[in-house]
Amino acid sequence: MNLEKLYNERMLNLLIKILEVFTIEYIPKLPIALRKPFYHLILPLRKVKDKVALSIPSSEMTFERRLEFAKTSRQGLNNSGSHLLKFNETVKVEKLENSPVDIYKFTPSKPVEDSYGVYFHGGGYYAGSIISHKHFISQIVAGTNVPFYFFEYRLSPEYVYPSAHEDAKIAVKYINNLESGKNSIWAGESAGGGLSTGLVVDDSFNLKPDKLALLSPWLDLSDKNRDRSYFKNKDILLAIDGMHFVGEYYAGEFKTTDPILSPVFADINNFPETLIQVCSNELLYNDAIEFTKKLREKGTRYDLQVWDNLWHAWHFFPIKESYEATEKLISFITADSYSSPK
pLDDT (average), residues 267-284: 94
Residues 116, 149: Cα–Cα separation, whole Å: 8
Contact 154, 137 (CB under 8 A): no
Query: Residue 342 pLDDT > 50, yes or no?
Result: no
Measured distance CA(18)–CA(244) in Å, rounded = 28
What integer pLDDT is reported at residue 134 of this predicted model? 98
Residue 117, C-beta contacts closer than 8 angstroms, at least 6 positions apart = 140, 141, 144, 146, 147, 148, 149, 184, 185, 186, 187, 333
- Whether residue 20 is predicted with pLDDT greater than 60 in this model: the reply is yes
Q: What is the pLDDT of residue 273?
A: 97
pLDDT, average across residues 126-141: 98
Q: Which of 227-236, 239-248, 330-339 has the lowest mean pLDDT?
A: 227-236
Span 11-39, average pLDDT: 83
pLDDT in tens, 89-109: 999 999 999 999 999 999 999
Phi–psi pair at 112, nearest 5 degrees? -70, 160
| CA 118 – CA 125 distance, rounded (Å) | 17
Query: How does pLDDT run across 1-17, given as a tens digit for each residue?
Result: 455 555 556 666 676 67
Which pLDDT value is given to residue 328?
A: 98
Residue 280 has pLDDT above 70, yes or no: yes
Contact 179, 132 (CB under 8 A): no
Mean pLDDT of the chain: 90
Digit-coded pLDDT (tens) for 144-153: 999 999 999 9
- Give the per-residue SS3 of 75-121: HHHHHHHCCCCCCCCCCEEEECCCCCCCEEEEECCCCCCCEEEEEEC
Q: Which pLDDT score, from 0 to 100, does residue 203 have? A: 94
Q: What percent of the chain lies above the pLDDT cut of 90?
A: 73
Output 88 or 17, whichever has higher pLDDT. Answer: 88
pLDDT, tens digit, 9 for 90 and up, residues 173-217: 999 999 999 999 999 999 999 999 999 999 999 999 999 999 999
Instruction: Categorize the per-residue pLDDT at 45 as very low, low, confident or very high, splitting at 50, 70 and 90.
Output: confident
Query: Phi/psi class of residue 74: alpha, beta or left (left: φ > 0; alpha: ψ in -120 to 50)?
Result: alpha
- The pLDDT value recorded for residue 6 is 53
Strand locations in 232-336 (E): 273-279, 302-307
Distance CA 46, CA 117 (A): 32
